[in-house]
Structure 1
Amino acid sequence: MKQIKVLVYITAYEDNQAVKTCVRAIQNQSFPIDKIFIIDNSRIEPVSLSNSKNIIIERHPENIGIGAGLNIALNLAQAQGYDFLWAFDQDSVPAPDCLEILLEAHQRLSGQYEIGIIAPTAIDVKTNTVVEGAVFAKYRFIGCQHINQIDFYKCDAPITSGSLISIEKAKTISPPRAELFIDGIDLDYGLRLRYKGYSNLIITKATMQHNFGNPLAVKFLYKKYYIHKYSVLRHYYICRNHTYLDIKYAQGWYRLLSLKYRIKYTICTVVKIVLFDTEQRQLKVCACLVGTYQGLIKQLDKTLIDPIK
């Protein structure tokens, strides 16, 4: 029986301690890891590891983003004969048996499904809630309801972090889109795998802790809500990329509903920023407006990393 080879990939950016914690969790997996490949986009705080055995660090202080980093990692995995790429953000910590459970599930379910991505249940450590994968519902991406009582369930796109990507299936579609930079890469790539006829599965018993933004607990009409506080840059890419992707994948008159929804989303986000976010308020509002407009006109120029300049 052929031995399964897994290449781990981590996108790193200005948080050495988070990278060390992620690497430690990967090295402690019950299924042995062959190699860890890190794209370090840091300029101020580059990755420094005391135990770097079987770890490759490729430095990009110019910050090439998640999409371009995934491209490099997938090419490396393919060139060196790996079966899977296990992708991570630096702020994720898989349980010790996470990979073992994913591979066992993949082997068990491969006779029933052509699996593109198999992924764990991601749990936001700050809110103790499940970070949902996504499905495309006619005119927009929505969260895929987590079903803990069953062994696994399908979605169109698991989040990038924790995704175990089949190299065999990845060869059959175009790579993740570098111009999306840091947001929506998973939505686009996962959905394209689905359109190719592959299944993307989330395994409930495989778990991973994940830091999802900076949630702020607020009360409105006597109810408690979590609002995620994002940077100026992140607001820009969320508005731009999601506007572009929703309208791109909507068909026929559903594109009008996409347009309506994206405008509504932008207005609601601006209101939340004005009411609850005191940091760089004007820049964040501007980023949302510029991002939405550029998503509408399909302006995905990778040089527009800072929309405010």
Structure 2
Amino acid sequence: MNGRTGRRVAGVVLAYHPEADIADNVRALLAEADEVYLVNNSPDEASRAVLAPVAADDRVTVLEQPGNVGVAAGFNAGMRAALDAGADFVWIFDQDSTVTAGMLARLLAAHAAAGDTAGIIAPALRSHATGVVYRRETGDGAREVDVLISSGALFSRRLLERIGLHDEALFIDYVDHDISLRARAKGFHNYKVFDALLDHRFGDSDPVRLLGRRVYLSNYSPMRQFHMARNRVIVIRRYGFGRWFWEDLAFTTKAWIKVLLRETDRWTKIRAASRGAWAGLRYKDV
């Protein structure tokens, strides 16, 4: 049990063909949380070798998946293991995120302040590439928001028992939107904590010049563009056009400007996104 908080907090890190710096991320997480469940979505020898330095720690449990089961199922595997082991909170990360000192205490304080209707609690984001806090991530204290990205998000046992885990059918992209909006639909309130910072990288973060400015390309694959378009439509159909939609529209518009003007294989990505949108319209919820 975490001596600073009096609550048992388990970290979950999702790995997929990880690079060596994932070990630093896990060590930073271990300095804050009680234990870490490392979910390996690429169970090959190369990935095992990268994970070996932290897998030897007795506070780390490696959960090897049968293959790339997706972001939602991967997070869920770690969350189930943590809850089954008695965790009061589960704190989840992708492999491109790095904990900063004192983050957990700030997230837990915000959760306590929110009371019984506390939903998902997550940090503000700082660019891994530039070291600068994103403009939309600046503020003071904690503020209620519609959606939060999954990486860095803190979930209480009570919340997860009420709303369930991630929707595994979504596989990747908008998985975080769906669980955030589901929490709100169940009467919980999600908060972004601005004095808790997460260093995060979106895609490749490849620097280029665009219209006289330095920008960073994500270079997402056509497969990712398919899932983003499909799942965006699914989430709209489930939850409607709320504040989250207009924030996402602004982000998506900027992303597509970079795709169209500077990324390679743009027509392949356009076709993939078109197929994804059509698949989203045809998707049948169970």
Report the Cα offset of residue 69 of structure 1.
Answer: 1.8
Rounded Cα–Cα distance in structure 2 between residues aligned with 1:61 and 1:289: 30
Q: What letter matches 2:261 in structure 1?
A: L
CA-to-aligned-CA distance 1:65-101 (integer Å, 9 cap, x gap): 1111222223223322211000000111111211122
Question: Partner residue of 2:155?
Answer: 165
The 1-side partners of 2:177 and 2:133 are apart by 17
Counterpart selection for 1:276 from 258, 262, 270: 262
Aligned residue pairs total: 270
Within the candidate set 65, 70, 73, 2:78 is matched to 73
Q: How does 1:171-250 map to 2 (within 5 A)?
A: 171-215=161-205, 216-220=207-211, 226-250=216-240
Residue 198 of structure 1 deviates from its aligned partner by 0.8
Give the 3 Å change call, closer, same or farther, for CA 40–300 of structure 1 in structure 2.
Answer: farther
Relative distance call for 1:46 and 1:118 in structure 2 (3 A) is same
User: Which position in structure 1 is the counterpart of 2:21?
Assistant: 18
More helix by share: 2
Residue 97 of structure 1: which of 94, 99, 102 is its match? 102
Give the direction of change, closer, same or farther, for the CA distance of 1:300–1:66 in structure 2 (3 Å limit).
Answer: farther
- Structure 1 residue 275, shift from structure 2 partner: 3.4
Aligned to 1:146: 137
Q: Does the 8 A contact of 1:101 with 1:205 survive in 2?
A: yes
Q: Check if 1:114 corresponds to 2:114.
A: no
1:206 counterpart SS class: strand
Is the 1:218–1:227 Cα contact (8 Å) retained in structure 2?
A: no
Deviations 1:161-206 (A, max 9, x none): 1001011111011321001111111100011101111111111111
The equivalent residue for 1:307 is none
Identical pairs, percent: 29
Matched ranges for 1:263-302 at <5 A: 269=256, 272-278=258-264, 280-298=265-283
TM-score for the superposition, normalised by structure 2 = 0.83
The answer to whether the Cα contact below 8 Å between 1:88 and 1:160 also exists between their aligned partners in 2 is yes
- Residues 1:286 and 1:20: Cα distance change in structure 2 (over 3 Å): same
Matching residue's letter, 2:110? A
TM-score, normalisation: structure 1: 0.77
Query: Alpha-carbon deviations, 1:198-252, whole Å to 9, x = none?
Result: 11111111111011123444433x566554321222111111111221233227x
Matched AA of 1:207: L
Tell me, yes or no, if the aligned pair for 1:190 and 1:200 is still in contact at 8 Å. Answer: yes
1:25-64 matches, within 5 Å, as 25-29=28-32, 33-44=33-44, 45-47=46-48, 48-50=51-53, 51-64=56-69
Q: CA deviation at 1:131?
A: 5.6
| Cα gap change, 1:39 to 1:147, in 2 (>3 Å) | same
CA distance in 2: counterparts of 1:16 and 1:219, whole angstroms: 29
Q: 1:167 to 1:179 in 2, by over 3 A?
A: same
Where structure 1 has 5 or more consecutive residues not aligned to the other structure, the ranges are 133-144, 302-309
CA change 1:15–1:167 in 2 (3 A) is same
Equivalent residues of 2:92, 2:153 under 8 A apart:
yes
Residue pair 2:41, 2:74 contacting (<8 A) in 1 also: no
Q: CA deviation at 1:64?
A: 0.7
For the residues of structure 2 that align with 1:195 and 1:90, how far apart are their CA atoms? Answer: 29
CA distance in 1, matches of 2:18, 2:180: 27
1:53-73 CA-to-partner distances (Å, cap 9, x unmatched) read 211111125211111122222
CA distance in 1, matches of 2:285, 2:216: 30
